[in-house]
Amino acid sequence: MLPITAFIALLLSGCSDNKAQAQRKIQGIVYCAEANPVSFNPQVTTTGSTIDIIANQLYNTLISIDPLTAEFRPELATGWEISEDGKQITFTLRKDVTFHNTDYFTPTRTMTADDVVFSFNRLFDVYNPFHFVGDANYPYFQSVGMDQLIRQIVKVDDYTVRFELFSSESSFLSNIATDFAVILSQEYAMQLVAQERKQDFDMLPVGTGPYKYKGFLRDNLIRYHKHPDYWKHDLAMDQLVYDITTNNTSRIAKMLTKECDITAHPSATQLETLAARKDIRVDKAVNLNVGYWAFNTEKPPFDNVLVRKALAHSIDFQKIMKAVFYGNGIQARSILPPSSWAFQTQAMPSYDPERAREFLAQAGYPDGFEMDLWAMPVSRIYNPNARKMAELIQSDLREIGIRATIVEYEWNTFLERVGRHEHDSVLLGWAADTPDPDNFFSPLLSCTATFSGKNPANWCNPEFDLLLTQALDTSDLQQRKQFYQQAQQMLIAELPVVPIAHGMRFQASNTSVMGIELRPFGGISLANARKN
Amino acid sequence: MFADFLFRRLSLLLFMLFALTAFTFALNYLFPGDLLTNFSGELNANFSQTQILEQKYHIDDNLLIQYQAFLVRLFEGDWGLSLSSGQAVFGHVKQLFPATIELCVYALIMALCLGIPAGVIASAYHNKWPDKVISSLTLLGFSIPVFWLALLLIMIFCLSLGWFPMSGRIGLLYEIPPVTNFILLDIWLHDFPYGGQAFADALHHLTLPTVVLAMYPTTVLVRFTRDSMLTVLEQNYIKTARAKGLNRRQLILDHALRNALLPVIKQIGLQFSTLITLAMVTEVIFSWPGIGRWMIESIYQRDYPAIQGGLLAVSFFVIFANMLADVIHTLLDPLARNQAHGKV
């Protein structure tokens, strides 16, 4: 028995370590992330979890967007000038910006126009040695059509770069300010070419951000060290470590045991437990996103607007907000979230089974019909539980005589099949990458999106497309607003999609951590984060 | 005599290894999916790559040659690539296995330090209260499922009291370069500016997983030591010693213990296979970056090359550990050698 008591005493004495830990000099922030990054270069992915981890910590962009005023801010470019016709944009670059000095690369020069030209050329220029490295797939820039827009990128002098466009487009600057438009080191790229290790380019990153890459152990951790010569400030901690914890509950538990300083995406049901603790702060951020129900408008009976109206009137939005969002979301009043500058409240279809039945009868389906309802298998900000939402809608539809079958596939298969328009109707959503309203319309509902398999409503309306083009062609904000408001009205009148809700983005952090920037669009920035 | 025994053991070992590798080799055919992918872990190989792989794996030759090529690759450390990470399976095994062994070794040391003394005490106070307390605690520990115990301890000591961390080997901010992969040794080897704190932190992380993993072998050792001591204490030479007037301490420590421990040593070796199995569960619960957690993860992801590699490594290890315990036991106990021959 004695040894057991002795051992317990020993264990208990271990607890006095708590004090030592509080005083420890080792500095750093531990962030519990929900997934492994798929790459270390934001150019080649749009995966939200990956962007959160890599974009703002390792890299800088030419310009950024102020999350409050939505104005452009200088970053690596100190200024920019747009020519009269809007086809030439000239950036003046910041001097003395140093790239990361890592185990695998020692920079000999600071950032110049060559790096900027190289970074963007990789995306568009088939002669760039890195264009075909990886899958030659640059999802964000390809989906917004930037490759069709840029004629060439010219180095004017060492610190001036000019983008020449085929036509002027008002969302160009917003796209240059996304997390995907990072500046990479040309010198590093050339070194890899010389060493014949081109494939390492996206996995061993070199950027200009506040932290530099140190190591990545799959399913385990990612370690960043401080970039000592960061051009902006000296706030960075010695280390930034990402603890990869895919299990939702484990992540919250680690937050409670203080193994994490910051935790990504706690689920709505866990918020109460977290909020009850004094040492944990729960941040809610309005995020530019929308969860919607899209109908395959090319398939009968969904090609009939009366049927779409009947379906829209049949669902009880209040119930969905309560059961799926737990009160942590806003009911949609348009496809645009209220924080967007082009937002205008629309007369949304209300819950009214009587009217729904009337519309059905008018459309020639007094006895209803059978349909598929696809529910996405993963939780997203704009729809934390699509399965549950689908079940609620299913029971609402039964009220008006429509028999809906819920269909689920593995996430990638799901997206692929939706892209091939195999569905009747689908619950999906969209989170914006820029505050520009076009980001909600063009990638989701334009005709080009239909061809590239992105338009889940399979809806191609030339009138609507014209509105979008007109909005992009002008840089007069008032005029753009008008075009977008017309577009929103048209969507509610035609209902290719029923906007359901805008979700909130949540994050839990230890109260000793300050300066976390949770952006309403794009990823999270820990560039200014520090721990007291 | 001993050489003869060793020879028998080694031939048995060889046969076991043959059976094991043959089984692993067969798995490539038994797993669903493309044979070449199962062998190499190379997904979406293009035409020229496929041809190179076909040559390397002797796909067009008969099974014996394929098996031979498989053995050669095995010894060269070419265990294919993991389907989920795209990195060499052997590299993963080399990196992760020491963490598992570390956990098992600490648990075994703890089990020895607690189990043997507790067993001795129980036998010394046979049928008195210490014996009863120890026996009932042992029964309790023996009956608790390891995952349940782990969750219980996490709930009490991590979440409610906040005394211990619940995952990993060390605070992630301590950057310890792996040399031996035994975390405490590595901290000691590496001249780390926060060495003392890192050491304390590592111990802190080790405590709960070690306690959980040690529970089962401890209870087994307590019971074995107790039973074996009781048998020895019944022997005539002990009675003689007692008649000579030796006190209890002398009787047990000087006369009974050495003989009583012999069967216990054999038991320690046998515990290793159970220990590795339990370690897998423990690793998953405590996010311990060992081979068990990796294998379970691989099974989820249908990562066949990784499953094969993990299986081979773990089975090799268990077989060797058992053999080693057997040999050591025989070295210490000459009687066992005769039994091993089937002679009297």
Q: What proportion of chain B, given as a percentage, has pLDDT over 90? A: 13
Q: Looking at residue A463, what is its pLDDT? A: 92
CA–CA gap between residue A142 and residue B65 (Å, rounded): 49
> Is residue A259 less than 8 Å (CB to CB) from chain B?
yes
CA distances from A338 to A6, A292, A334 (A): 63, 15, 8
Determine if residue A265 is left, alpha or beta; phi over 0 gives left, psi from -120 to 50 gives alpha, anything else beta: left
CA–CA gap between residue B33 and residue B79 (Å, rounded): 18
Of B234, B328, B284, the residue nearest B103 (C-alpha):
B284
Residue A192 in tokens? 């890899």
Mean pLDDT across A119-142 = 85
Determine if residue A93 is left, alpha or beta; phi over 0 gives left, psi from -120 to 50 gives alpha, anything else beta: beta
Q: Which residues of chain B make contact with A27, given a CB cutoff of 8 A?
A: 173
Of A457, A441, A428, the residue nearest A145 (C-alpha):
A441
Cross-chain CB nearest to B158 (options A4, A214, A257): A257
C-alpha distance from B130 to closest chain A C-alpha (Å): 8
Q: Which residues of chain B make contact with A20, given a CB cutoff of 8 A?
A: 197, 200
Indicate whether A18 pLDDT > 60.
Answer: no
Indicate whether B71 pLDDT > 50.
Answer: yes
User: Is A14 within 8 Å of B207 when comparing Cβ atoms?
Assistant: yes
Q: Which residues of chain B make contact with A256, given a CB cutoff of 8 A?
A: 158-159, 162
Q: Which residues of chain B make contact with A253, given a CB cutoff of 8 A?
A: 154, 158-159, 166
Q: Looking at residue A222, what is its pLDDT? A: 93
Sequence-distant (≥ 6) Cβ neighbours of residue A268 within 8 angstroms:
A325, A326, A328, A384, A506
CA–CA gap between residue A484 and residue A343 (Å, rounded): 8
Among chain B residues, the shortest Cα distance to A253 is held by B159
Q: Which residues of chain B make contact with A14, given a CB cutoff of 8 A?
A: 163-164, 200, 203-204, 207
Cross-chain CB nearest to A28 (options B159, B173, B287): B173
Among chain B residues, the shortest Cα distance to A22 is held by B197
Q: Looking at residue A25, what is its pLDDT? A: 61
CA–CA gap between residue A447 and residue A493 (Å, rounded): 18
Mean pLDDT across A106-135 = 90
Q: Best mutation site among A5, A24, A270 for testing chain B: the one with the most B CBs within 10 Å? A: A24
Cross-chain CB nearest to A17 (options B130, B204, B294): B204
DSSP, res A348: P
Q: Best mutation site among B84, B173, B201 for testing chain A: the one with the most A CBs within 10 Å? A: B173
Q: Looking at residue B331, what is its pLDDT? A: 81
Sequence-distant (≥ 6) Cβ neighbours of residue B326 within 8 angstroms:
B9, B266, B269
Cross-chain CB nearest to B163 (options A15, A24, A259): A15
Per-residue pLDDT tens digits for A369-403: 999 999 988 778 888 888 999 999 999 999 899 99
Interface of B with A in 16-75 (CB under 8 A): none
Least confident of A6-15, A210-219, B111-120: A6-15
| Cβ-contact A258, A280 below 8 angstroms | no
User: Is A1 within 8 Å of B130 when comparing Cβ atoms?
Assistant: yes
Q: How many CB pairs under 8 A join A and B?
A: 91
- By the 10 Å C-beta count (0-12 exposed, 13-18 middle, 19+ buried), A153 is classed as buried
Higher pLDDT: A113 or A6? It is A113
CA–CA gap between residue A405 and residue A425 (Å, rounded): 10
**In degrees, to the nearest 5, what angle opens at C-alpha A268 toward C-alphas A266 and A274?**
60
CA–CA gap between residue B203 and residue B198 (Å, rounded): 9
Mean pLDDT across B41-45 = 73
Interface of B with A in 217-236 (CB under 8 A): none
| Cβ-contact A111, A75 below 8 angstroms | no
Mean pLDDT across B238-252 = 83
Among chain A residues, the shortest Cα distance to B111 is held by A4
Interface of A with B in 163-222 (CB under 8 A): 214, 217-221
Cross-chain CB nearest to A257 (options B84, B159, B197): B159
User: Is A221 within 8 Å of B172 when comparing Cβ atoms?
Assistant: yes
Radius of gyration from C-alpha coordinates of chain A: 25
For residue A165, give the H/E element and its range.
strand A160-165
Give the SS3 label for residue A35.
coil
Of A484, A508, A449, the residue nearest A337 (C-alpha):
A484
Indicate whether A100 pLDDT > 70.
Answer: yes
Indicate whether B335 pLDDT > 80.
Answer: no
Residue A492 in tokens? 């509610």
CB atoms within 10 A of CB B52: 13
| Cβ-contact A11, A511 below 8 angstroms | no
CA–CA gap between residue B76 and residue B62 (Å, rounded): 21
Q: What is the mean pLDDT of chain B?
A: 84
**Reported confidence tier of residue B208, pLDDT bands at 50, 70, 90:** very high
CA distances from B138 to A34, A202, B118, B135, B142 (A): 40, 55, 10, 5, 6
Residue A161 in tokens? 């770069």
Among chain A residues, the shortest Cα distance to B169 is held by A220
Of A196, A199, A177, A230, the residue nearest A39 (C-alpha):
A199
CA–CA gap between residue B58 and residue B189 (Å, rounded): 44
Indicate whether A7 pLDDT > 50.
Answer: no
Q: Which residues of chain B make contact with A245, given a CB cutoff of 8 A?
A: 167, 287
Among chain B residues, the shortest Cα distance to A16 is held by B163
**Reported confidence tier of residue A16, pLDDT bands at 50, 70, 90:** very low
Least confident of A210-224, B74-88, B108-122: B74-88
Per-residue pLDDT tens digits for B173-183: 888 887 887 88
Give me the long-range contacts of A195-200 (CB less than 8 A, separation at least 24). Answer: A198/A129, A198/A130, A198/A133, A199/A133, A199/A134, A200/A104
Cross-chain CB nearest to B167 (options A24, A26, A259): A259
Cross-chain CB nearest to B200 (options A1, A20, A26): A20
CA–CA gap between residue A79 and residue A177 (Å, rounded): 13
Among chain A residues, the shortest Cα distance to B156 is held by A257
CA–CA gap between residue A497 and residue A293 (Å, rounded): 5
Residue B262 in tokens? 């012999």
User: Is A257 within 8 Å of B204 when comparing Cβ atoms?
Assistant: no
Q: List A63's β-bridge partners, or say none.
A: A74
Cross-chain CB nearest to A3 (options B117, B171, B204): B117
Per-residue pLDDT tens digits for A137-183: 787 787 777 878 889 999 999 999 999 999 888 888 888 988 889 99
Indicate whether A6 pLDDT > 50.
Answer: no
Q: What proportion of chain A, given as a percentage, has pLDDT over 70? A: 95
Cross-chain CB nearest to B166 (options A21, A220, A253): A253
Sequence-distant (≥ 6) Cβ neighbours of residue B344 within 8 angstroms:
B338
Q: What is the dihedral of CA B267, B273, B274, B278, to 10 degrees?
A: 140
Peptide bond preceding B263 in cis form (omega within 30 of 0): no
| Cβ-contact A102, A206 below 8 angstroms | yes
Q: Best mutation site among B123, B167, B174 for testing chain A: the one with the most A CBs within 10 Å? A: B167
C-alpha distance from B121 to closest chain A C-alpha (Å): 8
Q: Does the CA dihedral A272-A277-A278-A281 come out positive or negative? A: negative
Cross-chain CB nearest to B194 (options A26, A223, A245): A26
Exposure b/e, B265-288, CB count within 10 A at least 16 = b: ebbbbebbbebbebbbbbbbbbbb
CA–CA gap between residue A146 and residue B289 (Å, rounded): 43
Least confident of A289-303, A378-392, B27-41: B27-41
Q: What is the reported pTM?
A: 0.78
Exposure b/e, B222-234, CB count within 10 A at least 16 = b: bbbbbbbbbebbe
Residue A336 in tokens? 């645009």
User: Is B159 within 8 Å of A253 when comparing Cβ atoms?
Assistant: yes
User: Is B118 within 8 Å of A1 when comparing Cβ atoms?
Assistant: yes
Exposure b/e, B125-144, CB count within 10 A at least 16 = b: beeeebbeebbebbeebeeb
Q: Which residues of chain A make contact with B158, given a CB cutoff of 8 A?
A: 253, 256-257
Of A249, A300, A291, the residue nearest A274 (C-alpha):
A249
ipTM above 0.85, yes or no: no
C-alpha distance from B290 to closest chain A C-alpha (Å): 11
Q: What proportion of chain B, given as a percentage, has pLDDT over 70? A: 96
DSSP, res A96: S
